[in-house]
Amino acid sequence: MAIGLVELIGITGMLLIVLGWIISIPDIPPLKLSVLYMLGSIFLVVYSYLVNDILFLVLNIGASTVSGYNALRALQACK
């Protein structure tokens, strides 16, 4: 299967977003932001599954995971 320009643009965008997550790991975002981001990403996971968009699915699974991790870190920082 050959990768076309559209897929290459999508993969590049996904990789740049993931890189942004990686470099922001040292910072703990506010709990409210992390929870809202996680919930929104979960809905987008369902949506991307229903419309069969694999790039969006993978990206939002990652977003849900990272924001869930950040929510846990924010809760631990409050203790």
Backbone φ/ψ region at 13: left (φ over 0), alpha (ψ -120 to 50), beta = alpha
Residue ranges of the chain whose pLDDT lies below 50: none
Taking the mean position of all CA atoms in its chain, how far away is CA 4?
24
Q: What pLDDT, on a 0 to 100 scale, did the predictor assign at position 14?
A: 81
pTM of the entire predicted model:
0.79
Q: Are 72 and 25 in contact (CB under 8 A)?
A: no
In the chain, domain spans = 5-78
Tell me: the pLDDT tens digits for 55-71? 889 989 999 999 999 99
